[in-house]
Amino acid sequence: MAIEFTKYHGLGNDFILIDHRHSPTLTMTPAAAIALCDRHFGIGADGVIFVLPGQDNTDYTMRILNSDGSEPEMCGNGIRCLARFIADLEGLEPDTTKTYRIHTLAGLICPELQPDGQVTVDMGEPRLLAADIPTQLGEAEGKAIAQPLTVAGQDWIVTCVSMGNPHCITFVDDVAAIPLSEIGPQFEHHPVFPQRTNTEFIEVVAPDYVKMRVWERGAGITLACGTGACAAVVAGVLNQKCDRTATVELPGGNLRIQWHPETHHLSMTGPAEKVFTGTWNRIE
């Protein structure tokens, strides 16, 4: 079966975008998504994103399958790519300003196209109670801030935040020195995270500028993570290390994050770029 697709990336976090507006029911199997994302035998991507018809008074619905076939609740870089993909499907000019209401498994998310090509996303409020993240660190109805956690034989101090998907943030002196491929999976699958977790390692350069490396649940090492950047700033504020407005430097580039005190919502601004279009003929 042939599938038309377009590939986009947000700071190197890359996705295969598929127009699924004809049906509200996703039919692609996890095995097919794994094959598509394979960087040697497939197209190559961190995940497959589908645009489906809207529901609950939204314009469209977003569904994602990670490169390991699992389905996350949301993806910050991915939803910026989705917004650009929708604009291309609608035939909008590149400098058009427009806001979309997108239904996701994490709730309503509203990306706004900017005239300079950037996309600003209202990411909603962070969820801070341990039971909502979810994590077994601390009390279920309390916040998991600066909690001790032993991973890979080393003691860490972590803060947990949900941006609709779970994040575990730890502050380090040098993010470049973290053996991410070794310890990332051990964080992700630690038993205190019943739904697994994304893990962010943060180096605070200044209160308004941090460096971040990430191990994403279901995708491994990626060049950027939008929800992770938001969670990192929240954790920085909660631990009195960061301002509410900060630039997050990722291996793929920078994101601008704001945690608004009036609404408690976070906004994320960053790029989304088309790479190429094509047809996949090997879905089995």
Beta carbons of 247 and 254 less than 8 angstroms apart: yes
Q: Is 225 one of the annotated active-site residues of the chain?
A: yes
Which of 81, 160, 168, 225 is catalytic? The answer is 225
Which of 37, 75, 81, 160 is catalytic? The answer is 75
Half-sphere exposure at residue 97, Cβ-oriented, CA atoms within 13 angstroms: 4
Q: Is 75 one of the annotated active-site residues of the chain?
A: yes
Beta carbons of 281 and 15 less than 8 angstroms apart: no
- Tokens representing 273? 């770029």
Active-site residue list: 75, 225
